[in-house]
Structure 1
């Protein structure tokens, strides 16, 4: 699903994030993970004293035992319409793009303290309006050119250019005037207004682009070729609908920085695409995929079985940590007359039997979501929102109050128009949930149907708000900024995350209020107030969430003591795990002799 979470290397603060059927043929075995010819290590000839002090210490989230080498292949369930994250905020795109391009600042993976990245240091004025970044002069593009203030300014100009499909990124950058080049390696930004997130919006939420490569090109067409990068990986091959292959850069400019020495360990990372879950799972069981993040309960409960699991050749692990939890649900487009009435939207919500869906269709794996910020309430704090309960008769009453009356055929009508709408979907496996809803909708006189399309077409239509109802899932961040998701001013601008088109003046006032609140507890209180208001407007039929991360993987890898870190999800695997030759040999011997490997922890709890 579409997500607004920027998944970045190490840990960047959260901010606002074409499927083709692939047959599992022999050619799909081109890139099994494991041992490959090692890339040559290129000595770093820079001055060690020039490394920023904070980056001279080891990364506490990484393992000193990590080794470079090997290949890892990861399942991706749909091929992105673009690998340019500025143009498409698909989760896989974010992982790939942040492997190739870097932000000015990163965040410490445990403390969330800002750490140097492209910028070796920075200065914030006393009035919190001016931000000056001093670039690390060791920073180089892959073609050897220095990363300069011109690149930072060019990135700003590219995002702010209304001709580019970068609308979601313009929200935050619109708070700044055009940056100023103080000198070749120093750039400053001045904010038009004080905002608690101004620093992060500049420091970690924009990925710097090479001006000398992109200048003069149509940025909207820069989708699958990125010959000049700055990050630890480069794109070496992509085949639409099949895979995207990255290769580690032995010449990465930060390769000698102690903080990064035991991260980004795989020589190759391959994202293998299968549009059909059943085909993907069989490819994984055959060994054509190494790591299989599980997003569906049926796969976890019913399909992850058999000899390869019984003999522990594959690890089936559930990880708990403090990762931010977003929400998923069925967005109702209030721009359409049929969903402009809150009573109708509430009726849709009470027609959804979440308990039945979770228990019978999702094997009891999930918890119902009763907030747009559910992770606020994981620590025991009482959620003030009243859970929406399945109630057909209440739905009838709400629809009647909204003016929808049954005709002679029992179908609802209002002003001579039938209650009819289409659900825009992009994943046939979710139809079983919609089918349960459609049965109840038909029972009360609603004519609804499903239109299934691919990711590219779905994304294009959603960006233009060309839908009645659609399933969308959103990531979250440690620090919540509700502006893009809920502010009225973004309800009409294409490509923004306010999918329902909600316009609530009281919410706008609270969003403006939280902008200048630097106290986290006070700001969280404001966001909770926003949540209470929005929840009662029913812009989504809220569904459910999973407080853990489920991963299947062949046991040829090793991981740090906190396998997914403090806040990470499956993206942590490519950043911090490594190919373990000894484990790989043991796995091969066990398979050859049909013997079981040793036990492992099926559930990895969060420990401080």
Structure 2
């Protein structure tokens, strides 16, 4: 054999070997093939108490009610904490940006070109009836969710071509395209359903029969409209796995339903449930003046939250003709006075949300650099011109409640759009008044909307606030029967395929999708696909910033506010690990510390653990 040919064959052999090494089954996988934080020999995560005692009952609350025990379909309102009964293929680490460790899957094999992912199931994995979890169950789960599940699944896993059973404990997902780095990781987040149990049941229908799972808890009692009780599976197959050590410490988890958040808070202070994540600035500032707080039985903490916040805002349904003009949307946004609202209603504790990736490096708070412009330039004719030359800033007032400058700008924008004042009403080119309905489910939010409504009315714009119950609200959102709502789009440290569900044209007409705005924009579609296909962290950040700019300058929402802390209040009968992960307060790693809450001494009760942080 001549030397050049020998060299070529050797090079090919080495390349093949390196690919085989990269594709070797692993105990964990990461987005960009970096080494995971925890080696294959790890015993437990750093943020748990591996010796936490087992026992007791964790009592929680939920807003609204439930009428379904199937969280996977676009019907009904599923019970809170229902995920406790299910296991997923992998376990998402809470102290890494995006790493998945094996749970049902003992090993994961990711193709170097990201054309497939293979899961090797644990032979000891069992459903609660003792039936083994097999590759057939994985295929059944995926195919059922894609055909009968919530539309989110079809968008999230759109790039999967087929699922192949290779043997009883080995299953492979083949992809339509190479290069989708996120897809192997999010496929690992599938909650696996028992094929044999669903064989005699209609998956597409809501019902109150407790489903069969394989997770650490099973449903013990169902009381629709009032509560649900989960009990820990004592002989759960996954008890001894490193990813589970220190978790699932309570013998039971009980969730009570409340239809009024004020009533729920009073119930918490009376000891009816153990833990409350406070989301109302007014409550956090004024409503915890109680004996249990003063003597330390109720602990209050503010913990730093390093998660990207995403966007919360008053969302326009641009399927409505009145909201299809960008200038009209911008004009309405000018009339929300955040500074006054924050000062008068929120005790100055919120920060203004100015990005769809707020509280992260992915937020577009500076002009695009040369590399980001390379992403944007091919789309110049499809994006607002400001994307290339300006940094988006929400309007800012002096907090006095007088917003003459914003009203002037809003008025001029409406004039440009063909509107005029007729009999103190803002009337459009079609002769119809500018009037719309704000659909609301939370009574406490009305006090925030009323000043906004007054500002709109001073410019002749009529906004009617309509509050409905939870079931009606969900149905109207799914059928897109609304003008404007308050909504939020949470983001992870590694955004990807879920962005199709949020912004892509393919999700605009799918009932139940998260494309509530009704976006059908080829420029945004291209940016979403570019983000999903990013091949490095640097590329991901730049694509996220580019998408952020396009969404912001489209004026699709009136940006609200955000916080970078969790506000937690809990009775001291329960305790948490000393070290919590940066991306979660890991509630299922807490445990019962004593039979009942007791007064304490030491640090003054109610003093936040992170006193320097702003708390909304």
TM-score exceeds 0.5: yes
What is aligned with 1:182? Answer: 166
1:156 has 2:142 as partner: yes
Q: C-alpha distance in 1, partners of 2:413/2:555?
A: 13
Q: Deviations over 1:507-546 (max 9, x none)?
A: 2122222332220121111110110111011111110011
* Matches for 1:232-271 after TM superposition, within 5 Å: 232-271=216-255
1:118 has 2:131 as partner: no
Aligned residue pairs, count: 544
Q: C-alpha distance in 2, partners of 1:105/1:605?
A: 36
State whether residues 342 and 348 of structure 2, in contact with CA within 8 Å, keep that contact through their aligned partners in structure 1.
yes
State whether residues 225 and 235 of structure 1, in contact with CA within 8 Å, keep that contact through their aligned partners in structure 2.
no
Pair 416,170 (structure 1): closer, same or farther in 2 beyond 3 Å: same
* Matches for 1:168-207 after TM superposition, within 5 Å: 168-194=152-178, 195-204=180-189, 206-207=190-191
What is aligned with 1:277? Answer: 261
1:388 has 2:388 as partner: no
What is aligned with 1:469? Answer: 484
- Rg larger for: 2
1:358 has 2:342 as partner: yes
1:230 has 2:214 as partner: yes
What is aligned with 2:591? Answer: 578
Q: C-alpha distance in 2, partners of 1:549/1:55?
A: 33
What is aligned with 1:100? Answer: 85
Q: C-alpha distance in 1, partners of 2:208/2:135?
A: 26
What is aligned with 1:520? Answer: 537
1:508 has 2:521 as partner: no
| Structure 1: gaps spanning 5 or more residues | 1-10, 15-51
CA-based RMSD of the aligned residues comes to 2.7
Q: C-alpha distance in 2, partners of 1:212/1:91?
A: 25
What is aligned with 1:48? Answer: none
Measured after TM superposition, the shift of residue 382 of structure 1 is: 4.8
Measured after TM superposition, the shift of residue 320 of structure 1 is: 0.8
Q: Residue 603 of structure 1 aligns to a residue in which SS?
A: coil
* Matches for 1:76-95 after TM superposition, within 5 Å: 76-87=62-73
Measured after TM superposition, the shift of residue 98 of structure 1 is: 2.3
Q: C-alpha distance in 1, partners of 2:74/2:609?
A: 34
Of residues 440, 445, 453, the one that matches 1:438 is 453
What is aligned with 1:553? Answer: 570
Pair 576,80 (structure 1): closer, same or farther in 2 beyond 3 Å: same
Pair 598,411 (structure 1): closer, same or farther in 2 beyond 3 Å: closer
Q: Deviations over 1:124-178 (max 9, x none)?
A: 22321121111111100000000001110111111111xx241011112221123
Name whichever of 330-339 and 472-481 sits farther off. 472-481
Name whichever of 223-232 and 67-76 sits farther off. 223-232
Q: Deviations over 1:301-357 (max 9, x none)?
A: 110113221211111111114233122111101100010110111011101001111
Q: Deviations over 1:573-605 (max 9, x none)?
A: 2x1010012xx46x44x4xxxx86754662248
Q: Deviations over 1:289-308 (max 9, x none)?
A: 11111011111011011322
What is aligned with 1:498? Answer: 515
Q: C-alpha distance in 2, partners of 1:505/1:378?
A: 22
Pair 576,338 (structure 1): closer, same or farther in 2 beyond 3 Å: same
Pair 282,59 (structure 1): closer, same or farther in 2 beyond 3 Å: same
State whether residues 101 and 229 of structure 1, in contact with CA within 8 Å, keep that contact through their aligned partners in structure 2.
yes
Q: C-alpha distance in 2, partners of 1:552/1:454?
A: 27
Q: Deviations over 1:54-98 (max 9, x none)?
A: 3761222111331000111112222245343323699985x6232
Q: C-alpha distance in 2, partners of 1:185/1:503?
A: 42
1:566 has 2:566 as partner: no
Q: Residue 143 of structure 2 aligns to a residue in which SS?
A: helix
State whether residues 55 and 259 of structure 1, in contact with CA within 8 Å, keep that contact through their aligned partners in structure 2.
no
State whether residues 317 and 482 of structure 2, in contact with CA within 8 Å, keep that contact through their aligned partners in structure 1.
yes
* Matches for 1:50-89 after TM superposition, within 5 Å: 54=40, 57-87=43-73
Q: C-alpha distance in 1, partners of 2:418/2:426?
A: 13
Q: C-alpha distance in 2, partners of 1:90/1:350?
A: 36
What is aligned with 1:325? Answer: 309
What is aligned with 2:555? Answer: 538
What is aligned with 2:329? Answer: 345
Pair 496,606 (structure 1): closer, same or farther in 2 beyond 3 Å: farther
What is aligned with 2:279? Answer: 295
| Structure 2: gaps spanning 5 or more residues | 1-27, 32-37, 368-390, 398-405
